[in-house]
Amino acid sequence: MNRLNLPGPKALALIERDKKVISSSYPRGYPFVMDYGKGVEVWDPDGNRFIDFMAGIAVLSTGHANPRVVKAVQDAAEKFLHISSDFYHEGWIRLSEKLDEIAPFEEGAKTFLTNSGTEAVETAIKLAKFHTRRHNFIGFLGGFHGRTMGSVAFTASKPHYHRGFYPLMPGVTHVPFPDPYHPIFERKPGEDYGERVVRFIEEEIFGHNVPGDEIAGILVEPIQGEGGFLVPPDGFFPALRELCTKYGILLIVDEVQSGMGRTGKWWAIEHFGVEPDIVTSAKGIASGLPLGACIARESVMQWPRGTHGNTYGGNPISCAASLATIELLEEQYLANAAEVGQYTLDALEEIQMRHPSIGMCAARV
Ligand code: PLP
């Protein structure tokens, strides 16, 4: 077989069967069919071997089939596969205790576990509305927060996420994300571009459109992912935090993609020296098992019994995978991300010195 002639016959046959029965909405970019994976490598059914740079789009935080995660899943599966969230189990409690320990705020944390990132964002939206009794939000152009009816109202990275689905959840006003490489606002002398964007929100949005004291939450990715991996300037989050505190707005950081050790710290927001009120997580939290989390300050996650729930939240297999993942991140992968991140950034900056066509190298490690 010519190994460069991809996809091979077995993969091609599967792709043909897939086309007949699987929703055509998935953005299938590459004709890769997974057979099995180990660490950073994956194999297709024709025996071709690849290095996986995608990691399931930031999901495989411990690599493919990490033996510790696999063992944790096997052990949990032998005990029980499911228990309704009307009941209790230790793995769910231990994971929530761990998330309380690593949450990026001093105050104690309470967690609502979900099946996905979008459900974590939906939970954050509902919690913010419930806690503040307000209905309006600020989101950012270029942001990605999911595809269900609440989260997709914030998603503003590509118009096809909205086309055909109007009306979306009302009450979301989008503002530009502070992209220091493509600034769209004039700055005052010495003004940080992040502070400039926050001044736009206060002066233009609150000043002319939505009253600041009717905003429930500002939902933002600490480092914008799908929008272009944009790192905001240092002044942005401190100014945004100040704005939120001034108007009684909840600062909700969507760490579905940027969190779980990916930047060398548990959460990307930790690089910016501010504490959010709510954090959403998913993707890398359980090495590929379906799990998300809405983690909030305990003073915020105060809602009575029955207000919000789900069938699979706190699933024992996903909790076991997550606990093993967090242990592995703690033991080695957090430090590895910091080291490899710094190495990569240094190397890119060195290349940039030789190639003026490279306009900016940005990252937080
Ligand atoms: N939020 C962010 C920042 C994301 O990157 C994603 C997914 O890519 C989501 C939310 C939605 O997560 P899910 O696809 O698990 O619903």
Beta carbons of 178 and 232 less than 8 angstroms apart:
yes
For the chain, the residue count is: 365
Residue 231 lies in a domain: yes
Assess whether 41 and 137 both reside in one domain.
no
My answer on whether 94 and 200 are in the same domain is yes
Mean of the per-residue pLDDT values of the chain: 96
Rounded Cα distance between 307 and 96, Å, is 19
Question: Is residue 58 in some structural domain?
Answer: no
Per residue in 71-123, pLDDT (tens digit) is 999 999 999 999 999 999 999 999 999 999 999 999 999 999 999 999 999 99
Residue where the block lists tokens 């944790």 = 72
Q: Looking at the structure, do residues 24 and 88 belong to the same domain, yes or no?
A: no
Query: Does one domain contain both 121 and 189?
Result: yes
- How many other CB atoms sit within 10 Å of the CB of residue 245? 12
Q: What pLDDT is attached to residue 220?
A: 98
Nearest protein Cα to ligand 1, atom 1: 145
2 pLDDT higher than 60: no
- Do 191 and 268 fall into the same domain? yes
Q: Give the model's pLDDT for residue 5.
A: 81
User: Residue 73 sits in which domain range?
Assistant: 67-326
How far does residue 187's CA lie from ligand 1's centre (Å)? Answer: 32
Distance 62 CA to ligand 1 centre (A): 18
Ligand 1 centre and the CA of 256: distance in Å? Answer: 6
Q: Is 335 helix (H, G, I), strand (E, B) or coil?
A: helix
Give percent of the chain with pLDDT exceeding 70: 99
In a domain, 250, yes or no: yes
Q: What is the pTM of this model?
A: 0.97
Counting atoms of ligand 1 from 1, which one is nearest the CA of 282? 15
Same domain, 34 and 173: no
How confident is the model at residue 1, as a pLDDT? Answer: 47
CATH number of the domain within which 227 lies: 3.40.640.10
Q: Is residue 157 part of a domain?
A: yes
Are 220 and 104 in a shared domain? yes
Domain co-membership, 41 together with 82: no
Taking residues 205-225, what's their average pLDDT? 98
| The predicted structure's pLDDT at residue 3 | 55
Answer yes or no: do 30 and 93 share one domain. Answer: no
Whose alpha carbon is nearest atom 10 of ligand 1?
A: 145
Pocket test for ligand 1, best of 113, 145, 147, 226 (most atoms within 8 A of CB): 145
For the chain, what percent of residues have pLDDT higher than 90?
96
pLDDT tens-digit series, residues 345-358: 999 999 999 999 99
Closest ligand 1 atom, residue 292 Cα:
15
Does 231 have pLDDT greater than 60? yes
Ligand 1 center–CA 157 separation, angstroms: 12
Computed on alpha carbons and rounded to an integer, the radius of gyration of the chain in Å comes to 21
Indicate left, alpha or beta for 120 from its phi (over 0: left) and psi (-120 to 50: alpha): alpha
The answer, yes or no, to whether residue 163 has pLDDT greater than 70, is yes
- Residue 365 pLDDT grade (very low, low, confident, very high; cuts 50, 70, 90): confident
**Shortest-distance Cα residue to atom 13 of ligand 1:** 117
Q: Identify residue 288 by its one-letter amino acid code.
A: G
Does the pLDDT of residue 67 top 70, yes or no? yes
Asked if residue 48 belongs to a domain, the reply is yes
In this structure, are residues 192 and 235 in contact, taking their beta carbons and an 8 Å threshold?
yes
Q: 365 C-alpha vs ligand 1 centroid, how far in Å?
A: 22
Q: How many structural domains does the chain have? A: 2
Q: Is residue 362 part of a domain?
A: no
Condensed to tens digits (0 to 9), the pLDDT of residues 15-26 reads: 999 999 999 999
Could you tell me if 80 and 185 lie in one domain?
yes
**Ligand 1 atom nearest 226 alpha carbon:** 5
What is the 140 CA–ligand 1 centroid distance (Å)? 15
In-domain check, residue 341: no
Return d(Cα 219, Cα 143) in angstroms, integer: 9
SS3 171: coil
Atom of ligand 1 nearest to the CA of 255: 3
Three-state helix/strand/coil letters over 59-96:
CCCCCECCHHHHHHHHHHHHHCCCCCCCCCCHHHHHHH
Span 237-265, pLDDT tens digits: 999 999 999 999 999 999 999 999 999 99
Please check whether residues 119 and 250 belong to one and the same domain.
yes
Residue 174 shares a structural domain with residue 150: yes
Residues with CB under 6 A from ligand 1: 116-118, 121, 144-146, 221, 225, 254, 256-257, 282
User: How many angstroms does the Cα of residue 310 sit away from the middle of ligand 1?
Assistant: 18
Give the pLDDT confidence of 299-325 residue by residue, as tens digits. Answer: 999 999 999 999 999 999 999 999 999
Residue 358 domain-assigned (yes or no): no
